Amino acid sequence: MAEAAAASVKAPGDELWVRDDVDLAEWYLAQPWSDGLPVIVPTEEKVADVVEALGGEPDFVECKVPPRMGSLTRQVLAINIVLAGAKPEYAPVVRAALVAMADARLNLNALQASTHMAAPLVIVNGPIRRSIGMNAGCNLFGPGNRANATIGRAIRLVMLTAGGGIAGELDKATLGHPGKYTYCIAENEEQSPWAPYHVEQGYRPEDSTVFVIPAEAPHSVTNHVANDPQGILDSMVSAMSTIASNPAVAGGACAVILGVEHAKMIAAHGWRRADVRAYLWSNAGNTFGELSFNHRYGKVYNRSLPIWCKREPDSFIPIVARPEDIHLFVAGGAAGRFSAFIPGWGNYATPVLRPIDSAQATAANCIDGTCAL
């Protein structure tokens, strides 16, 4: 039996140098892992500052990133964080998200290659949002906030570099979506009428956490007419009850972002988080006839539908199997009666929730600090 020999693609300590007339910004932009946008040129000092923010020990391997399984040492992670334009103080959030994504239950290996429209959506809870200046309010998913923009971008760069998820090579997404540039937000805990998401999941308010769900782009839910829970949520139900989304054909979880005005109106009627999720779960879905195209293409048994669903033409199939599969957040600006439905990727993955650094995972379904939900 031949001895197993360690074979690395590059030995550590091998440094690459180029002539001084090379435009470094253009050099990095030309690399196969580029996301198409300019990067910050790394220097020893910038990288060292991020390594320090991660706790030192540059050779410490945080995780391996599928499908290429590149070893994400703190040094390598720091390089990606600098390239993305993220500050050292953002580094713990980026790390927590990537370690959560490397959890087998999130199935990053398949997500990177998937033809589906899906990108990891990262939602941050807890005091770290404020200490690093994240945006949880107006223009939540849009540009203008360095923390949101560059944390999400650093995560995507790691997926491209260490993970090897380069379009056309290993990333086979048919269409992709703009969230693949950056997709990171914070919950608006200050203006939410309810406890924050992470507290609902068993964390303390003073803990900071990252929640990661492979997700489609947000679907807008507009309702400027209703002033009661059922009216507002019926618009959300309408958005959720589509045969075209990933959950309709492949099951799995979704996220619901209630805008601040909508959330406050719903809470004013005494409805709580669990009430909202129960209403959405029991009303949002499609008939089996719709999902099976009324057998126009032959009689098909869809394995993604829960085994307990009836399969008569008029049988109601909920868009998610359980109310717990609706991950509910309150976020966005104070003005405007808009919310968002964010379908997941299917039952190929379980969303994960992970504390950032010192917070303790308390829920039962947590392994090595990452909790599958």
Partner 1 sequence: MPQRIFDPCGIVEASAKPLAPRAQDLAGKRLAVLDNTKWNGAKLLDAVVARLSQDVRFAQVNRYKKETFTKPAAPELLREIAANNDLAVIAIAD
Partner 2 sequence: MTLEALKIPTAVIVTTEFVREAATQAAVLGMPELTPVVIDHPLSTLSDDQIAGRAEQAAPQVTNIWLG
Give 10's contacts (C-beta < 8 A, 6+ positions apart): none
To partner 2, the closest distance from the beta carbon of 217 in angstroms equals 24
Contact residues: partner 2, CB under 8 A: 4, 7, 67-69, 113, 164, 169-170, 172
Alpha helix locations (H) across 161-245? 197-200, 229-240
**H helical segments located in 241-317:** 246-250, 260-268, 273-283, 288-291
In the chain the first and final C-alpha atoms are separated, in Å, by 43
Residue 169 near which of partner 1, partner 2, none (CB within 5-8 Å, type-dependent): partner 2
Note whether 163 and 67 are within 8 A (CB): yes
User: Smallest distance, Å, CB 149 to partner 1?
Assistant: 18
Which of 80, 112, 135, 245 lies at the binding interface for partner 1 (CB under 8 A)? 80
Nearer to partner 1, 100 or 233 (CB): 100
Stretch that binds partner 1, among 128-136, 159-167, 215-223, 269-277 (CB under 8 A): 159-167
Cβ at position 162, least distance to partner 2 in Å: 12
Is the Cβ of residue 76 or residue 100 nearer to partner 1 in the bound state?
A: 76
- Rule CB under 8 A: choose which of 47, 51, 199, 210 binds partner 1: 47
Q: Which does 8 bind (CB under 5 to 8 A by kind): partner 2, partner 1, none?
A: partner 1
Nearer to partner 1, 44 or 206 (CB): 44
Name the minimum Å distance from CB 238 to partner 2.
Answer: 31
- Binding partner of 10, given partner 2, partner 1, none, CB within 5-8 angstroms per partner class: partner 1
Q: How far is CA 185 from CA 64, 150, 151, 189, 372, in A?
A: 24, 11, 9, 12, 20
Q: Write b or e for each residue in 49-59: b if 16 or more Cβ atoms lie within 10 A of its Cβ, otherwise e.
A: bbbebbeeebe
Q: Could you say whether residue 268 binds partner 1 (CB under 8 A)? A: no
Q: Which residues pair with 329 in a beta bridge?
A: 257
* Cβ closest to partner 2, residue 9 vs residue 307: 9
For the segment 48-77, give every residue that binds partner 1 (CB under 8 A).
65, 68-73, 76
Report the C-alpha dihedral over residues 353, 328, 275, 220, rounded to 10 degrees: -160
Q: How many binding residues for partner 1 (CB under 8 A)?
A: 47
Spatial CB neighbours of 101, under 8 Å, sequence gap ≥ 6:
108, 120, 155, 212, 352
User: Tokens 């713990």, residue?
Assistant: 92
* Half-sphere exposure for 117 (CA within 13 Å, toward CB): 16
Nearest Cα to Cα of residue 346 among 316, 311, 312, 305: 305
Residue pair 101/152 in contact (Cβ under 8 Å)? The answer is no
Nearer to partner 1, 2 or 244 (CB): 2
- Per CB under 8 A, residues contacting partner 1 are 1-2, 4-12, 15-20, 22, 24, 27, 33, 42, 44, 47, 65, 68-73, 76, 79-80, 82-83, 104, 107, 110, 157-158, 161-162, 164, 303, 348-349
